[in-house]
Structure 1
Amino acid sequence: MAVRWAGLVAGALTLSACATQEGGSVLPNIFEPAPKSAVEALNRYYEDVPASALPKAPEGVPLPASDAVISRILVASCNDEELPSPTLAQLATEEADLFLMIGDNVYGDRDGKAYAINEPELDELRESFADLATREEFIAARSKFPMMVAWDDHDYGANDAGKHFPFKAFAERIHETFWGLDGEDVGAWPGTYYARSFGPDGQRVQVIMLDTRFFRSDLTPTDEYGAEGKERYIPTPEGDPQDMLGSEQWTWLENRLQDPADIRIVVSSIQVMPTVHGWEAWSTMPKERERLFDLVNSTGAEGVVFLTGDRHTGFIYEERDVLPYAANELTASSLNLSFADESSERDARQIGAAFPPENYGAVEIDWEGETLSLILKDSEGKTARRNDIAFSDIGVD
């Protein structure tokens, strides 16, 4: 795939050279002085694409006020915009203070059912977002709930891609323009990570949206394709580069974990806690996974709960001893791309069986009862899995 991307970028640079010749080109004459690399040439071109050429989501509901008490959050991932999404329609009938779409919100690297490598113009990705904007189920959810979003590989532009995806700057612009983030703080820096806090002291919820794509180093391919626990990737060896978030995002996260908050919802598009499978997850970079837990420890951040997606199966996890309190994770996936009815996957941290049918998640916070509940709901809105957690078990006084 890296060779294919290199060829596409080199082709784009060749086209850019034509822009200086009489008669014009598909690319504008913007290369003065000449770009130092093909990627730089592409990024100059991308900057010149008018915002009107990029798809935008329907007008949404403003985020809650900074002093608004949050007691219910919905979460979902993996939504193919080319297919009906009755589970998203069901989600839109719920009541909640906030809705988090946490990755693979479209499948912009697919043409129908086949995966495809995006061309530099990212036509398929733009078309996918434009299609999502017209879906009745999405419009219903968008018009009802304040939303925060993260991206994963399929709305980043390439399956399992990381920092070497050459069109990532344009993918970021497409993402931020569609979701209305281009004028926010997140639009001012590379990557799509950002955070928001809601509620007064004693009832403050912080939502941290991580970007596990833009800066991520390469994964280590499996040495036994398809084998259980080694399906696609194996953990990166000790001495090889491991970077999930990039130095700037790591520093930013350290600062955010020191912001005042009682409950901290940390959103990662890929799973954080499990280690038994060979799909994308923090476990593919053991040192980075350890670094994440160490950062929570060193900052003294209380009330951290992880929300993840990606797996086309729902899970709930709980583990002691990696944080100063119990670490908890809810994986909500997928809205309309279920591949099975049952799963035998079982991690020692797992609470209950996996749930592969279409699903979405809910985080319910009972401030008076001092409990937080992680809930998986099926396509009809019925509770499929649940874990009730006392505030004291996650370090909340």
Structure 2
Amino acid sequence: MKRAILLVGLMGLAACQVSRPISIPGITRAPDSAEEALEAYYKTLPDDFYPRAPEGLPLPDTDQPLSRILVASCLDEEKPVAPALEEIAREKADLLLMIGDNVYGDRDGRNYTVNQAELDELRESFSDLAARPDFQAVRAAHPMMVAWDDHDMGANDGGKDFPFRRLAERIHERFWGLEKQDVGAWPGTYYARTFGPEGQRTQIIMLDTRFFRTPLMVTNEWGVKGKERYIPSTDAHQDMLGADQWTWLENQLQKPADLRLIVSSVQVMATDGHGWEAWSRLPKEQERLYDLINQTGANGVVFVSGDRHTAFLYRQDAVLPYPAYELTASSLNGSFAETTEEMDSAQIGAGYPPENFGAIDIDWSTGTAALSIKANDGATVRETSVKFK
């Protein structure tokens, strides 16, 4: 009861609707924002406030070369089964990347809900995920690296303007056991790891495209093909990663690696095939990413993304010093169609909307990586090969 009263007071104070002073642990002055007003309160929440994933496997040793990486996104934790997730648990792999919308924490059934300050719906979604036998099997089968997207932050298409993002970050990091690692020491959920010896070194960069992202420009032709929800922003101050993450990424790209997977929850290369969320909706930031890779001389970059509820492969020859590729794997159990007519200028073949996951098979002897889209039974339905050496 005391916690509820304090929370009501905090929200009122942040909205300038409190007529008398209230005692806020850790705050001795009026906060500048609702986010600041809540921050000190969030620091008082007990450990059992946060749901936890079943214990997982440790990441591979830093000197172990990786030969197979699986990729998955978009898991509706309320649906009873996910054959693709069950198949992933049976597959052989060195590492699994869960790259966003790992839960739908802003939705109850088919209805979107507005998360309140304690993010009850989001925490319930993570608790439901932890209890799933298919997810437990995956945790027992594969080491995992994770990124978040809008639905596991708690706001559909949300960005830095989501007032409860700091609690959402805590929920994410504690669920996945990241709070005591480097990523737990800074705002945002981005981090990187490198595996393998010189000549067989894979760097995996998990970006956070939510915590710092500025608002998108809403379409002027709702539902029109190529302009479905958003159009390229003209805001001179558009930002995808935030100043600190951009600096961190520049440093990461200067580290030695033979193959670099840059994992973005939203698509990087798709530009003219759709009007949903993507780096192309913030075109200055998309160009900035390409420029940074060029300026740092980072070799072997392959982009990996999710979000779209359809799987895609892309290739573009003009943005990097070498052909740029992207694998979009989505979704595990949230298919909306059997076929799609979407075609981007960089797209390789047709998209694949049925339930799916992705695979990256690395052949160090030839310096190539096979990027594959897998049906929910493990069959390869789309594939392309990347020469990274």
TM-score bracket relative to the smaller structure: over 0.9
Amino-acid identity (%): 60
- Asked whether the 8 Å contact 1:109–1:124 carries over to 2, the reply is yes
Q: Give the drift of 1:51.
A: 1.8
- Provide the C-alpha distance between the structure 2 equivalents of 1:372 and 1:117, rounded to a whole number of angstroms: 42
- Asked whether the 8 Å contact 1:9–1:166 carries over to 2, the reply is no
- Provide the C-alpha distance between the structure 2 equivalents of 1:216 and 1:303, rounded to a whole number of angstroms: 26
Match of 2:227 in 1: 230
Q: Give the drift of 1:111.
A: 1.1
Q: Give the drift of 1:224.
A: 0.4
- Asked whether the 8 Å contact 1:330–1:374 carries over to 2, the reply is yes
- Provide the C-alpha distance between the structure 2 equivalents of 1:329 and 1:121, rounded to a whole number of angstroms: 36
Match of 1:155 in 2: 152
Counting only pairs closer than 5 Å after superposition, residues 180-195 of structure 1 correspond to structure 2 as 180-195=177-192
**What is the Cα-based RMSD across aligned positions, in Å?**
1.9
Match of 1:262 in 2: 258
Superimposed CA distance per residue, residues 92-115 of structure 1 (whole angstroms, 9 cap, x where no aligned partner)? 110000000000000000011101
Match of 1:318 in 2: 315
Q: Give the drift of 1:52.
A: 1.8
Q: Secondary structure at the match of 1:92?
A: helix
- Provide the C-alpha distance between the structure 2 equivalents of 1:8 and 1:286, rounded to a whole number of angstroms: 41
Q: State which of 129, 134, 139 in structure 2 corresponds to 1:132.
A: 129
User: Is residue 289 from structure 1 mapped to residue 282 from structure 2 by the alignment?
Assistant: no
Provide structure 1 residue ranges, at least 5 long, that are not aligned to the other structure. Answer: 1-6, 22-27
Match of 1:141 in 2: 138
User: Is residue 204 from structure 1 mapped to residue 201 from structure 2 by the alignment?
Assistant: yes
- Provide the C-alpha distance between the structure 1 equivalents of 2:124 and 2:17, rounded to a whole number of angstroms: 24
Q: Secondary structure at the match of 2:43?
A: helix
User: Is residue 36 from structure 1 mapped to residue 62 from structure 2 by the alignment?
Assistant: no
Change (3 A) 1:32 1:317: closer
Q: Secondary structure at the match of 1:274?
A: coil
Superimposed CA distance per residue, residues 323-373 of structure 1 (whole angstroms, 9 cap, x where no aligned partner)? 000000000000000000000001121111100000000001001132111
Match of 2:329 in 1: 332
Q: Secondary structure at the match of 2:90?
A: coil
- Asked whether the 8 Å contact 1:12–1:120 carries over to 2, the reply is no
- Structure 1 runs (4+) deviating above 2 angstroms are 7-21
Change (3 A) 1:32 1:324: closer
Q: Which amino acid aligns with 1:43?
A: E
- Asked whether the 8 Å contact 2:9–2:18 carries over to 1, the reply is no
Change (3 A) 1:340 1:12: farther
Match of 2:4 in 1: none
Counting only pairs closer than 5 Å after superposition, residues 1-397 of structure 1 correspond to structure 2 as 10-11=11-12, 13=14, 29-30=24-25, 32-37=27-32, 38-83=34-79, 84-237=81-234, 239-276=235-272, 277-391=274-388, 396=389
- Provide the C-alpha distance between the structure 2 equivalents of 1:181 and 1:19, rounded to a whole number of angstroms: 39
- Provide the C-alpha distance between the structure 1 equivalents of 2:19 and 2:43, rounded to a whole number of angstroms: 18
Change (3 A) 1:18 1:80: farther
Provide structure 2 residue ranges, at least 5 long, that are not aligned to the other structure. Answer: 1-7
Q: Give the drift of 1:241.
A: 2.2
Q: Give the drift of 1:17.
A: 6.2
Q: Give the drift of 1:32.
A: 4.0
Q: Secondary structure at the match of 2:233?
A: coil
Superimposed CA distance per residue, residues 116-165 of structure 1 (whole angstroms, 9 cap, x where no aligned partner)? 11001100000000100010111011111010000000001100001010
Q: Which amino acid aligns with 1:55?
A: P
Superimposed CA distance per residue, residues 194-241 of structure 1 (whole angstroms, 9 cap, x where no aligned partner)? 00000000000000000000000000000000000000000001x532
Q: Give the drift of 1:298.
A: 0.4
Q: With structure 2 as the length reference, what TM-score do the two structures score? A: 0.94
Q: Which amino acid aligns with 1:136?
A: P
Match of 1:25 in 2: none
Superimposed CA distance per residue, residues 356-396 of structure 1 (whole angstroms, 9 cap, x where no aligned partner)? 000000001001132111000001100010001223xxxx2
- Provide the C-alpha distance between the structure 2 equivalents of 1:384 and 1:71, rounded to a whole number of angstroms: 20
- Asked whether the 8 Å contact 1:81–1:107 carries over to 2, the reply is yes
Task: Work out the number of aligned pairs and report it.
Answer: 379
Q: Secondary structure at the match of 1:61?
A: coil
Change (3 A) 1:128 1:324: same
Q: Which amino acid aligns with 2:269?
A: M
Change (3 A) 1:35 1:182: farther
- Asked whether the 8 Å contact 2:11–2:37 carries over to 1, the reply is no
Match of 1:4 in 2: none
- Provide the C-alpha distance between the structure 2 equivalents of 1:150 and 1:386, rounded to a whole number of angstroms: 24
- Asked whether the 8 Å contact 2:95–2:143 carries over to 1, the reply is yes
Q: Secondary structure at the match of 1:121?
A: coil
